[in-house]
Amino acid sequence: MKLNLGSIEYNLMMKDPVETFTDKEKPDEDCVIAGLIVPFRAELYVSPKFEEQVKAQSFWHEVVHGIMDEIGRRDLYDDEGFTEAVAKQLYLLHKNNSVKKIYDYIGADKCLKS
């Protein structure tokens, strides 16, 4: 699936991100990786082996990394605490609200892509 994030069109893939690593890059066995974004290859991975909530939160986590890359904030791109905090808020915003209803209410419904 294609995902436009800033000026980059990413290929969003449901694939275990660890499969993309070379043997030299593979993390320790106890390291859990549910998502990964690779801006220079325009790829965003979400592992299909987790429950829905983890997949959704991982998606938003990687989106925040992508946004920080897009705006040139490498310091925040590398800050996992910042990334996770913002990602959780975006996840909860979308989980707990209908974005379409909000846009309809504020008169911005034409801004949504159908």
**What would the pLDDT profile of 10-42 be if each residue is shown by its tens digit?**
999 999 887 877 665 666 666 788 999 999 999
Q: What is the pLDDT of residue 22?
A: 62
Q: How far apart are CA 97 and CA 95, in angstroms?
A: 6
Per the structure, how many domains does the chain have? 1
Q: Quote the domain boundaries for residue 100.
A: 2-111
Q: What is the pLDDT of residue 92?
A: 96
Give, rounded to a whole angstrom, the gap between the first and last alpha carbons of the chain. 15
Residue indicated by tokens 């800050």: 79
What's the gap between Cα 29 and its chain centre? 23
Spell out, as residue ranges, where the chain has pLDDT lower than 70: 22-30, 114
Q: How far is CA 114 from CA 5, 26, 77, 97, 109, in A?
A: 17, 39, 30, 18, 10
45 with 19: CB under 8 angstroms? no
